[in-house]
Amino acid sequence: MFSKRIRNVQPSGTVMLSNKVKRLKDQGLDILSFTLGEPDYSTPAHIIDAAKEALDGGLTHYTSSLGMTDLREAVAKMVNEKNGIKCDYENVIILPTKLALYMVIQSFINPGEHVIYQNPGWVSYGPMVTLAKGTPVPVRMRHDAEGWNWDPRDIKNHITDKTKALILNTPSNPTGSLVSRETQMEIAEIAEEKDILIISDEVYENLVYDDEHHSIGSLDVASDRTVTVSGFSKSYAMTGWRIGWMVASKETIIMVNKLQQHSLTCLPPFVQRGALAAIQNGTHCVEKMRDEFKARRDLLIPMLNEIDGISCETPKGAFYSFFKMDMGFKSMDLAEMLLYKAHVALTPGSAFGSAGDGFLRMSYAASRENLEEGAKRIGEFARSLKKK
């Protein structure tokens, strides 16, 4: 009855774990969860007020499938000024960030064509490619004492005549690593040489702590072949609003808009009014959250590294620690044991690809109190394993 396409797709490991945690909490267990990637803040009041005002003003009907013009103009202006990507509002379509990635893959990938992405990398890249009848090609990142690095030589070694696109995620989920400007240039030159589309997922772009974020689409050599995707969820604590944007060539926007018209149709106008207020009212709330995430990172990483058997580099962006737990178990087994024995929910690194096995992802988008208690429980669990 069901299509082979959907049968071949595995459920999201992160969402499944979150659902399991909720069931255990509903049973009355004291579970500390550090699994889902969302800020623990509420959406800033001025954004909520703008959406309320729009609702009270009757903005409850269909709007353009491309997005409201004033919001598209605001995104274009911001992307020009902040990211250095040359565009105008006709290069912008408003849609949920996750759906934007899905739609660009559907728009470009033919059956059997290959899409390269980071390993470890976000859990949905591979399934999205599979749903387009393409072939996912996760390329292992290199890991050392300095952290994770995606080497352009490894990318080039995986390119064949079937390679159609590569997905670049910086800052990275789950590793928190950044793709440097130098590496971006090398990747862009490879993409030009091999005529490959670049899909740049930059949803964590405003959560960079010790360096600068760079957009590969701002490079002259990459600008015509790059689709840049970002959104409001992580930066403005708007995960439930489901709104983001895509910046690409006008031809790409026209093609993606076909999918928008035959699926979502448009985003609610009151949600778009909230997003416009987020842009128009500056980045003070973003900077405040980023500073707190940095403080939490600087609290958590030393506590993890004090635990015998755990090693964790300091992430440069996003809000995840991705640490190695050398206890002789696979990451899925470790996550299960931590959940049921220590009542701490972490995401197994294997959910993000083969290179993540032996690692665990712990979000520090949580209170300092919970981070301290979580690290304490992880330490006690690790010591109990060492005694066996």
pLDDT band at 245 (very low <50, low <70, confident <90, very high): very high
Number of Cα atoms under 13 Å in the Cβ half of residue 364: 33
**What HEC string does the chain produce?**
CCCHHHHCCCCCHHHHHHHHHHHHHHCCCCCEECCCCCCCCCCCHHHHHHHHHHHHCCCCCCCCCCCCHHHHHHHHHHHHHHHCCCCCHHHEEEECHHHHHHHHHHHHCCCCCEEEEEECCCCCHHHHHHHCCCEEEEEECEEECCEEECCHHHHHHCCCCCEEEEEEECCCCCCCCCCCHHHHHHHHHHHHHHCCEEEEECCCCCCECCCCCCCHHHCCCCHHHEEEEEECCCCCCCHHHCCEEEECCHHHHHHHHHHHHCCCCCCCHHHHHHHHHHHHCCCHHHHHHHHHHHHHHHHHHHHHHCCCCEECCCCCECCEEEEEECCCCCHHHHHHHHHHHHCEECEEHHHHCHHHCCEEEEECCCCHHHHHHHHHHHHHHHHHHHHC
What is the C-alpha separation between 33 and 347, in angstroms, rounded? 9
> How many structural domains comprise the chain?
2
* DSSP-assigned beta bridge partners for residue 114: 135, 163
pLDDT at 388 over 80: no
* Whether residue 169 is found in the same domain as residue 264: yes
pLDDT at 15 over 80: no
Q: What is the pTM for the complete model shown?
A: 0.96
* Whether residue 362 is found in the same domain as residue 229: no
* Whether residue 217 is found in the same domain as residue 119: yes
Q: What are phi and psi of 202, to 5 degrees?
A: -120, 35
**Tens digits of residue pLDDT in 35-55:** 988 999 999 999 999 999 999
Share of the chain above pLDDT 70, in %: 100
* Whether residue 50 is found in the same domain as residue 177: yes
Give the chain's radius of gyration (CA, Å): 21
Least confident range of 29-38, 116-125, 345-354? 29-38
pLDDT at 11 over 90: no
Q: What is the pLDDT of residue 116?
A: 98
| Sequence-separated contacts (24+) of 71-74 with Cβ below 8 Å | 71/272, 71/275, 71/276, 71/279, 72/245, 74/276, 74/279, 74/280
* Whether residue 291 is found in the same domain as residue 364: yes
CA nearest to 147, candidates 87, 83, 61, 211: 211
Pull the structure tokens for residue 318.
Answer: 């996003």
CATH number for position 374: 3.90.1150.10
* Whether residue 38 is found in the same domain as residue 50: no
Q: What is the pLDDT of residue 358?
A: 95
* Whether residue 257 is found in the same domain as residue 182: yes
Tallying the residues shown for the chain, one arrives at 388
Domain final residue, candidates 244, 260, 280: 280
Pull the structure tokens for residue 268.
Answer: 């609610």
pLDDT at 30 over 70: yes
Section 249-264 average pLDDT: 98
Section 7-30 average pLDDT: 84
* Whether residue 205 is found in the same domain as residue 297: no
Section 153-178 average pLDDT: 98
* Whether residue 152 is found in the same domain as residue 31: no
**Tens digits of residue pLDDT in 265-311:** 999 999 999 999 999 998 999 999 999 999 999 999 999 999 999 99
CATH number for position 249: 3.40.640.10
Q: What is the pLDDT of residue 230?
A: 98
Q: What is the pLDDT of residue 20?
A: 84
Section 172-180 average pLDDT: 98
* Whether residue 200 is found in the same domain as residue 252: yes
Domain that holds residue 373: 4-43+284-387
Judge whether 26 and 227 are in contact, CB under 8 Å: no
pLDDT band at 319 (very low <50, low <70, confident <90, very high): very high
Least confident range of 1-15, 92-106, 122-136, 166-180? 1-15
What is the C-alpha separation between 379 and 373, in angstroms, rounded? 10
* Whether residue 82 is found in the same domain as residue 230: yes
Domain final residue, candidates 280, 315, 348: 280
Q: What is the pLDDT of residue 10?
A: 83
Judge whether 359 and 351 are in contact, CB under 8 Å: no
Section 340-354 average pLDDT: 96
Number of Cα atoms under 13 Å in the Cβ half of residue 49: 6
pLDDT at 14 over 80: no
Q: Which residues contact 359 (CB under 8 A, 6 or more apart)?
A: 120, 174, 322, 323, 324, 325, 331, 349
Domain final residue, candidates 226, 249, 280: 280
Q: Strands 320-325 and 310-311: what pairing?
A: antiparallel
* Whether residue 23 is found in the same domain as residue 135: no
Pull the structure tokens for residue 178.
Answer: 């950044």
CA nearest to 229, candidates 330, 347, 101, 334: 101
Q: What is the pLDDT of residue 354?
A: 97
